[in-house]
Amino acid sequence: MMGTRLFRLVAIAAAVSAVAAACSPAEQGVSQAQTGDAVVVLSEGECAQTCPVYDMTLHPDGSYALNGVKFVKSIGVSKGNLGPEAFNAAETALTEAGFWTLPTNQTNAVSENCHSGAPTVNVTWRNDAGKQKTIAYTAGCGGPEMRNVVIALRQAMSFDALVWTDARFDPDGRR
pLDDT of residue 20: 44
Strand partners, 39: 126
What domains can be seen in the chain, in order of their start residue?
31-162 (3.30.1560)
Q: How far, in Å, CA of 133 to CA of 61, rounded?
A: 20
Task: Kindly report whether the global pTM for this prediction surpasses the value 0.85.
Answer: no
- 172 has a pLDDT exceeding 80: no
Report the largest interatomic distance among the alpha carbons of the chain, rounded to a whole angstrom: 82
Closest Cα to residue 125, out of 25, 37, 24? 37
Mean of the per-residue pLDDT values for the chain?
A: 87
Q: What pLDDT digit, counting tens, does each position of 72-95 carry?
A: 999 999 999 999 999 999 999 999
Identify the H or E element spanning 101: none
Question: pLDDT band at 112, cuts 50/70/90?
Answer: confident
Report the first-to-last Cα separation within the chain, whole angstroms.
81
